[in-house]
Amino acid sequence: MVHAEVSFHGIYRDEHLLVNKVPVIVLFDGHCHLCHWAVKFLLKNERHPLLKFAPLQSEVGRTLAPEYQSLNTVVVSRPQGLLVRSDALVFLASYLRMPWALLRFAYYLPNFMRDTLYRLVDQVRYPLFGRSEVCSLPTGMDENRLVELNDLLSPEQLER
């Protein structure tokens, strides 16, 4: 999968994704309690219900982001490629309602600073927030917002 970069223009939602209803898929660590909280936060504060979700450990996660199975980053999958770590968070901020949408301006911080902070949180998330033994979905999550492998495949691919 090609890796995308966030540009100044990229801090705003990709309008063609909205018009064409192209799903933007957020891949998260299904064991991580902080990640579950973040998914709930996105669902609650999203301007329009456009984001789709799947655990990194799922078939969808393994298919879209096989190189990120170490579970040390959130991954956003979109047609232009994958966004990871702070680039993914900056991009996701553009889908949020105000005042949270202002977080997209973190783009102006140097990437090494954003990613250093991201990695620090990654190192303490299990000890501080906990970890479930079973890969699960955030409680109360609408199943229509989940992506299954069948959703990604064309009818021809499903017949194989």
**Mean of per-residue pLDDT scores for the chain:** 77
Q: What is the mean pLDDT of residues 82-100?
A: 87
Task: Establish if 43 belongs to a structural domain.
Answer: yes
pLDDT for 132 beyond 70: yes
Question: What contacts 96, CB < 8 A, 6 or more positions away?
Answer: 42, 45, 46, 47, 103
Tell me which residue range forms the domain holding 17: 9-159
> In terms of pLDDT, which residue wins out, 36 or 133?
36
Task: Establish if 67 belongs to a structural domain.
Answer: yes
The total number of structural domains that make up the chain:
1
pLDDT for 31 beyond 80: yes
Task: Establish if 101 belongs to a structural domain.
Answer: yes
Task: Establish if 4 belongs to a structural domain.
Answer: no
Task: Establish if 3 belongs to a structural domain.
Answer: no
Contact of 51 with 145, CB cutoff 8 Å: yes
pLDDT value at position 153? 57
Task: Establish if 114 belongs to a structural domain.
Answer: yes
Task: Establish if 86 belongs to a structural domain.
Answer: yes
Output the pTM of the full model.
0.77
pLDDT value at position 53? 92
Distance CA 69, CA 143 (A): 23
Distance CA 89, CA 11 (A): 10
pLDDT for 27 beyond 90: yes
Confidence grade of residue 20 (pLDDT, cut at 50, 70, 90): low
Phi, then psi, of 130 in degrees rounded to 5: 100, 165
Task: Establish if 1 belongs to a structural domain.
Answer: no
pLDDT for 35 beyond 70: yes
